[in-house]
C-alpha cells in the first residue's frame, strides 16, 4: 500500500495516537514508582464515589470539590445547575472555551488537571446516558466553544441499552453539535474499558455482563461515525487498557471511575490532541 494514498487525517491520527501511547507508558511507569501517592489519591477520590455511582444523586458543583456535605440533587436540579454555568459562560465568553459533555467520568475531571490552555465548561452529569445527553445539548448552545469533547455510553450498557441504540444516539449527538456549533471542533471520545473481575464498584455484577470486547466494537463504530460526519475521534481506550483489554487498576478507584492518575493520562491525551 502506498503511503500517498492514505488520507492526511488518518496519518495525523496515527501519529497522535503513537505520541499518546508513549506518553501514557511514561505516566504508568511513574505511577508504579509512586504507589504510596496513588493510594492517597485513591482515598481522596473514594470520598466521592457514592455520588458518582448514584444516577439520581449528586455532589456539590464540580467547581467547588472541596466543600464537605453532599447535596442530593435530582436530575432536574443538575440540569438547572449546568444551565446556570453555561449561561454564565455565554454572558462573559472566554477567548478559548472547551466543553466536556458526558457522564460522571467527565463530571469528576478535577478542574486543576484540565489542560490550562483553555477555559473549561464541564457539562457532565452522574449516571447520564446517551439519550439524556442528546436531549440536553441545547443547554450550552450559546456558549460558543472552540472545541467540544464528548464521552458517553458506559451507563447505557450498564442499564442494558442495546449497543446499536448507543451508536445511533451518538450519531444524533454529533449531528446536533455540528449544527449548533458550526465553528467548533467536535471530538468524539471512545468509551473507556472497565476493570472486569478486578472491579470493586458496587455495580460490579452489571459490569461483568459487559465484555470489554463489546466496548471496543462500539468504539470502532464511533470512529466510523466521526469520519462519516466530518468530526474528530480520540481513541482513549488503548491508553487505559491493560494487556487483557481491561481498565488498568492503577488508573481507577473502583474499576469504572478514574483516580487522579487516570485523569492525568486523560489530561495528557487532551493536551497532545488539542495543542494551542
Question: What are 199-248's pLDDT values in tens digits?
Answer: 999 999 999 999 999 999 999 999 999 999 999 999 999 999 999 999 99
CA distance linking residue 255 with residue 39, whole number of Å: 15
The H or E element containing residue 146 is none
> 170 CB contacts (<8 Å, ≥6 apart)?
130, 150, 152, 153, 188, 222, 225
Q: How many residues does the chain have?
A: 276
Q: How many CB atoms lie within 10 A of CB 129?
A: 22
pTM of the model: 0.78
Cell numbers representing residue 108 in the block: 469528576
CA distance linking residue 222 with residue 224, whole number of Å: 5
Gyration radius (Cα) of the chain, Å: 18
Angle of helix 163-180 versus helix 212-229 axis, rounded to 10: 30
138 touches 116 (CB < 8 A): no
CA distance linking residue 170 with residue 57, whole number of Å: 24
Cell numbers representing residue 74 in the block: 435530582
Q: Label residue 41 by pLDDT band (50, 70, 90).
A: very low
pLDDT above 90 covers a percentage of the chain that reads: 73
20 touches 240 (CB < 8 A): no
150 touches 195 (CB < 8 A): no
Q: Is the model's pLDDT at 29 over the cut of 90? A: no
Amino acid at each position: 500500500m502506498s503511503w500517498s494514498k492514505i488520507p492526511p487525517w488518518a496519518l495525523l491520527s496515527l501519529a497522535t495516537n503513537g505520541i499518546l501511547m508513549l506518553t501514557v507508558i511514561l505516566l504508568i511507569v511513574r505511577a508504579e514508582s509512586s504507589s504510596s501517592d496513588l493510594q492517597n489519591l485513591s482515598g481522596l477520590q473514594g470520598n466521592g464515589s457514592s455520588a458518582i455511582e448514584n444516577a439520581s444523586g449528586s455532589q456539590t458543583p464540580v467547581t467547588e470539590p472541596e466543600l464537605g456535605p453532599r447535596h442530593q440533587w435530582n436530575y432536574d436540579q443538575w440540569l438547572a445547575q449546568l444551565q446556570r454555568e453555561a449561561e454564565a459562560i455565554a454572558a462573559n465568553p472566554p477567548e478559548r472555551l472547551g466543553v466536556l459533555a458526558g457522564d460522571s467520568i467527565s463530571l469528576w475531571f478535577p478542574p486543576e488537571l484540565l489542560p490550562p490552555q483553555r477555559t473549561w465548561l464541564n457539562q457532565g452529569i452522574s449516571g447520564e446516558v446517551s439519550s439524556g445527553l442528546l436531549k440536553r445539548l441545547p443547554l450550552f448552545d450559546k456558549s460558543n466553544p472552540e472545541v467540544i469533547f464528548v464521552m458517553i455510553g458506559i451507563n447505557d450498557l450498564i442499564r442494558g441499552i442495546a449497543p446499536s441504540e448507543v451508536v445511533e444516539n451518538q450519531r444524533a449527538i454529533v449531528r446536533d453539535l455540528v449544527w449548533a456549533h458550526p465553528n467548533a471542533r467536535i471530538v468524539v471520545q471512545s468509551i473507556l474499558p472497565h476493570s472486569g473481575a478486578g472491579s470493586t464498584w458496587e455495580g460490579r455484577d452489571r459490569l461483568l455482563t459487559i465484555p470489554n470486547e463489546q466496548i471496543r466494537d462500539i468504539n470502532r463504530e464511533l470512529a466510523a461515525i466521526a469520519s462519516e460526519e466530518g468530526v474528530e475521534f480520540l481513541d482513549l481506550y488503548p491508553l487505559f487498557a491493560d494487556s487483557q483489554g481491561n481498565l488498568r487498576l492503577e488508573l481507577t478507584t473502583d474499576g469504572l471511575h478514574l483516580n487522579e492518575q487516570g485523569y492525568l493520562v486523560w489530561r495528557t491525551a487532551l493536551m497532545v490532541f488539542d495543542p494551542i
